[in-house]
Structure 1
Amino acid sequence: MVRKKKKPWSKRKRIVVGSLCAFAVVYIAVMLWHTYKPLPEGVSFKGDIHNTDSVEMITDLTYAQDQEGTGMVHENHIFEEVYNMIEEAEDFVVVDFFLVDGYYDEKEDFPKIADTLSSTLAQKKIDHPDMPIVFITDPLNKGYGSFESKWFKKMREAGVEIVYTDLDPLRDSTPVYSGIYRTFFQWFDFGGEGWIANAMASEAPKMTVASYLTLLNVKANHRKAVVTEKEAMVTSSNPHDASGFHGNIALKVTGPILNDILKSEEAVSLFSGGPKLPRVDTKESNGQYQVQYLTEKKILDALLEDLAATKKGDKIWLGMFFVAKRDIVNALIDAANRGVEVNMILDPNENSFGQEKSGLPNRPVVQEMVEDTKGKLNIRWYNTVIGQYHTKAIWIQSDEHTIISSGSSNYTERTLDDYNLENNLKVVAPNDSELVIQMETYFERLWNNEDAMYTVELEEFQDGFTWWQRWIYTLQKFTKVTTY
């Protein structure tokens, strides 16, 4: 039998195959480089440990008197304290907030946080024209170049220095898309005014194609901090009106740690084309609290070390919006299995600004954690009648002390693997200190529904868990195509 000779590839076919191979090589190279490239100087920051006698916990809570949502109560304190800090500043004000927006479609009378904050800062600059006032923020707040919001325009015209974070030097957390974006889309400026509806709200300024292509990279300066020469606050809350009824926690500190926060914020300002930031003339003290400023992956490193050190009889309280970071999930499972009391209050991921959500990532993660601990791990869902349980705090107590870590960072890869910009305060406190008693009172109040319906049983939302949620969650983990 005579075998037929294969026809040689045509020139056109060779060009097509060669071009596809060349594209694949470039795409993979670009994707790998921007996933693992060196971080800008000052990112992933670990500050020194300082002592202070002043650490204050401030909370926002929205809750109902019953599970049906009647008798809504809003206890909002965080931004009232932010306004006070700005008004009392004498030398400078530095703020860094991810989301500053007053647009929303929901039919709720939300607090006017964006307008109040921008007006307070603008008036401060008008009253004190020589005072440095710097607002570092995410480019989300200018539609990634599509517009200037009225809140930032007000501050800019008053003389406040606005620094939109340059996200390009940061690593890409969605490499499958970002490889294509970096290779092709980033080089094209489609120009013109925005014409595509803004995903934030129907009345928000429209966006361009180029802005949406940038948005799909899903990367951010997600930090939330306020610093003056007197004190600093690190919080989980955004000055976003539709977030005004979220549950959040803030920690306010004084002392030399302020310079660590300013140093870290200055790094972001400088690589984004902004100014150097001032410093505070302050001395170390012998206060009862040990405080440390951590950003990005340094938050994860410290947390894993603290969780690994827990032993039988210790106690962990966790209040969190998103839990998905594999290292932390495993550490919590291991802690529960060796006899640590682990209590978690989680957002059910049921809604986001009026839009129904699928329960990802918390519900499939919770299902796994319950199975792997055989029910040893205790979980309650926050009763989110309005808003979200947006808190990002952990409280680890042993016989020796209590460790608290709280700030902007969810427990996800995007927030803790040196992709987003994030910030937390870590506090080591005596068990009988005012701060520890205050935080324990907070968690016990929510856990036990002491004066309202704050939390509900695990089955309230977990009974609706389906196999496809775990399948989608697994696929998202593998492809890194997520919004959390």
Structure 2
Amino acid sequence: MLRMSTDDNLFLETIPRKKTWQERWKAPVISILIITLLGVIIMNGWRSSTPEGLSFEGPMRRITDIEFLYDLTYRYRGETQHDQQIFETKLQMIEEASSFIVLDFFLFNDEYNREESFPDLTRQLTDALLSKRKDHPDMPIILITDEINEFYGAYTAPHLDKLRHNDVDVVITDLDQIGNSNPLYTGIWRTFFHRLDPSGPGVFPNPFSPDSPRVTLNAYLRLLNFKANHRKVLITDKSALITSANPHDASAYHSNIGIKLSGPIIADLLVSEKSVALFSGFEFPDLHHPSMALDSTEVQAQVLTEGRIRQRLLEMIQHAEKDEVLWIGQFYMGERQTVKALKNAADRGVEIRLILDSNRDAFGMRKIGIPNRPVATELMNHSSDKITVRWYDTRGEQYHSKLAVRSGEDQIEVIAGSANFTSRNISDKNLETNLRVIAPTDHDFSKDVLNYFHRIWENQDGHYTLDYSAFGNSRFPKRLLYRFQEWSGFSTF
């Protein structure tokens, strides 16, 4: 019988074992699957989606009836004061409407932490619409709003249900149709969680209000896409209001701005709202308002939505001349092209005055000053001679205005509405509506706009704003975090 020596065994052990076909293909297959999965996530996250009718720019329209409105919360002789015009104007417009009412508001709910009490704006607006429906059973009344008001499909809101049951058309914006402002997360969400139902019995606390329904994990996952129909528009057959103010209880004391106007521009606003309704599954009716004979007027206005806001804003800044002033009042300021344009304008000798929220309060929660404090630091470091920043001195509420003005000797140009000057708001991601207005400096509208800025800049008849030094220079880690969040979209601004 043959026997193997120890040397023979060692020789056999050195002969490599032939791999099976499963072993040979395992690594390439896994690599292909990982690459494919990453490709799907990237495709789902970074795919561009701009439904027809968005990023809208209407023609310049001549305007005879235009009014600048504002809400201001401030201190006078140690007491908090509220000068408010916008919400009462909304109620008045609804009462005066005779043919149709179209509303599009981001926040329309009464949910907050209950540690404070606020005016019941949601109930008042709901009651006004129900009263109008009772008096005018056949009048088209359409409310377009954001998914946030029913926590992204987790439940149905009582006030919205009440409107639905009384034949008011409630359109919840289909946010899946608009661009991805948080693309990395949205890519993962679309790949793995998109088809999960956000409704049903919730087990997680509602972050907006302790007495609101508990919510599902799927609703939270949907929230983290950070998408929004952020518009704030009211349109009737008589007039239209474009504003930064939500009919939201906890927002009642925010400082906001609005522009009310009438004329053929109403038709442009209806076109912009029809697009949202259609991609959200609602057949928008043909709404007609009486044509108005316009007298000779030098005031002109146009409707801007989404990315068109940035285009016209940049042009306004770029065309500003040495002897002009750029006024900006903003809740959030951070879009990089806008920041660069302001630096270039300062280099040309343009005087730039910014009134910014300090980003320290958000519905009872403390914030860390992003994005406004890092942006203010960057701008002031670039040119403290031509750029000046003042902080609105908020006390729990927000300086929620969204307004830019180019003030020259003969005319002013105004861009105002719902849009913060951040990438999410003016880069075809959120839905936004602004107005661009050009008016002579001696027109009442122009005087009201400039008086508004001077009042809060100079603390006339009250205390509104603080010097830039009140919050000082923003440190490098905070500036780095702002740049990352603005670039990635992983933020709430």
Alignment of 1:61-76 (within 5 A): 61-65=72-76, 70-76=78-84
For structure 2, the residue ranges without an aligned partner over 5 or more in a row are 1-13
Letter in 2 for 1:24: L
Counterpart of 2:44? 30
Give how far 1:115 is off: 0.7
Give how far 1:6 is off: 12
Counterpart of 1:322? 332
Letter in 1 for 2:492: T
Counterpart of 2:10? none
Alignment of 1:140-219 (within 5 A): 140-189=148-197, 192-219=200-227
Q: Determine if the alignment matches structure 1 residue 288 to structure 2 residue 298.
A: yes
Higher mean C-alpha deviation, range 201-210 or range 416-425: 201-210
Alignment of 1:203-352 (within 5 A): 203-277=211-285, 278-283=287-292, 285=294, 286-352=296-362
Give how far 1:163 is off: 0.5
TM-score of the pair, normalised by structure 1? 0.94
Give how far 1:462 is off: 2.2
Give how far 1:378 is off: 0.8
Letter in 2 for 1:54: D
CA distance in 1, matches of 2:185, 2:72: 37
CA distance in 2, matches of 1:442, 1:201: 34
From 467, 470, 483, the counterpart of 2:479: 470
Letter in 2 for 1:26: V
8 A contact 1:222–1:421 mirrored in 2: yes
Give how far 1:295 is off: 0.3
Counterpart of 1:401? 411
8 A contact 2:254–2:397 mirrored in 1: yes
For structure 1, the residue ranges without an aligned partner over 5 or more in a row are none
8 A contact 1:50–1:284 mirrored in 2: no
**1:47–1:347: structure 2 CA closer, same or farther, 3 Å change rule?**
same
CA distance in 2, matches of 1:461, 1:5: 70
CA distance in 1, matches of 2:36, 2:387: 50
Give how far 1:332 is off: 1.2
**1:388–1:6: structure 2 CA closer, same or farther, 3 Å change rule?**
farther
Structure 1 stretches of 4+ with a deviation exceeding 6 A read: 3-8
**1:284–1:23: structure 2 CA closer, same or farther, 3 Å change rule?**
farther
8 A contact 1:246–1:387 mirrored in 2: yes
**1:56–1:13: structure 2 CA closer, same or farther, 3 Å change rule?**
same
Give how far 1:186 is off: 0.5
Give how far 1:344 is off: 0.7
Letter in 2 for 1:29: M
8 A contact 1:361–1:473 mirrored in 2: yes
Counterpart of 2:102? 94
CA distance in 1, matches of 2:112, 2:170: 23
CA distance in 2, matches of 1:323, 1:396: 17
8 A contact 1:234–1:252 mirrored in 2: yes
Alignment of 1:405-484 (within 5 A): 405-463=415-473, 465-484=474-493
**1:161–1:311: structure 2 CA closer, same or farther, 3 Å change rule?**
same
Give how far 1:12 is off: 4.2
Give how far 1:406 is off: 0.7
Letter in 1 for 2:373: R
**1:46–1:13: structure 2 CA closer, same or farther, 3 Å change rule?**
same
CA distance in 1, matches of 2:132, 2:209: 29
CA distance in 2, matches of 1:348, 1:176: 28
Counterpart of 1:85? 93
CA distance in 2, matches of 1:284, 1:425: 21
Q: Determine if the alignment matches structure 1 residue 382 to structure 2 residue 392.
A: yes
Q: What percent of counterpart residues are identical?
A: 39
Give how far 1:481 is off: 1.0
Match of 1:187, SS state, is coil
Q: What root-mean-square deviation, in Å, do the aligned CA atoms of Structure 1 and Structure 2 show? A: 1.8
Letter in 1 for 2:409: D
Higher mean C-alpha deviation, range 50-59 or range 369-378: 369-378
CA distance in 1, matches of 2:15, 2:388: 70
From 349, 362, 366, the counterpart of 2:376: 366
TM-score of the pair, normalised by structure 2? 0.93
Letter in 1 for 2:283: P
Match of 2:227, SS state, is coil
Q: Determine if the alignment matches structure 1 residue 55 to structure 2 residue 71.
A: no
Higher mean C-alpha deviation, range 242-251 or range 392-401: 392-401
Letter in 2 for 1:300: R
8 A contact 1:261–1:293 mirrored in 2: yes
Per-residue CA distance 1:205-256 (angstroms, 9 max, x = gap): 2221221111111011000000010000000000111110100000001000
Give how far 1:29 is off: 2.4
Letter in 2 for 1:358: I
Give how far 1:353 is off: 0.6
Counterpart of 2:7? none
Per-residue CA distance 1:172-224 (angstroms, 9 max, x = gap): 11110011111111022265222211121222222212211111110110000
8 A contact 1:91–1:229 mirrored in 2: yes
Per-residue CA distance 1:22-42 (angstroms, 9 max, x = gap): 212222222232xx24x1111
Give how far 1:14 is off: 4.1
From 17, 40, 46, the counterpart of 2:57: 46
Letter in 1 for 2:56: F
Counterpart of 2:35? 21
Match of 2:35, SS state, is helix
8 A contact 2:198–2:219 mirrored in 1: no
Letter in 2 for 1:64: R
Match of 1:186, SS state, is coil
8 A contact 2:180–2:429 mirrored in 1: yes
Match of 2:79, SS state, is coil
Letter in 2 for 1:46: E
CA distance in 2, matches of 1:409, 1:267: 18
**1:364–1:342: structure 2 CA closer, same or farther, 3 Å change rule?**
same
CA distance in 2, matches of 1:114, 1:190: 24
CA distance in 1, matches of 2:231, 2:17: 61
Match of 2:414, SS state, is strand
CA distance in 2, matches of 1:165, 1:467: 38
8 A contact 1:174–1:480 mirrored in 2: yes
CA distance in 2, matches of 1:191, 1:168: 16
Give how far 1:5 is off: 8.4
8 A contact 1:54–1:289 mirrored in 2: no
8 A contact 1:256–1:284 mirrored in 2: no
**1:190–1:392: structure 2 CA closer, same or farther, 3 Å change rule?**
closer
CA distance in 2, matches of 1:190, 1:427: 42
CA distance in 2, matches of 1:389, 1:40: 31
Letter in 1 for 2:37: F
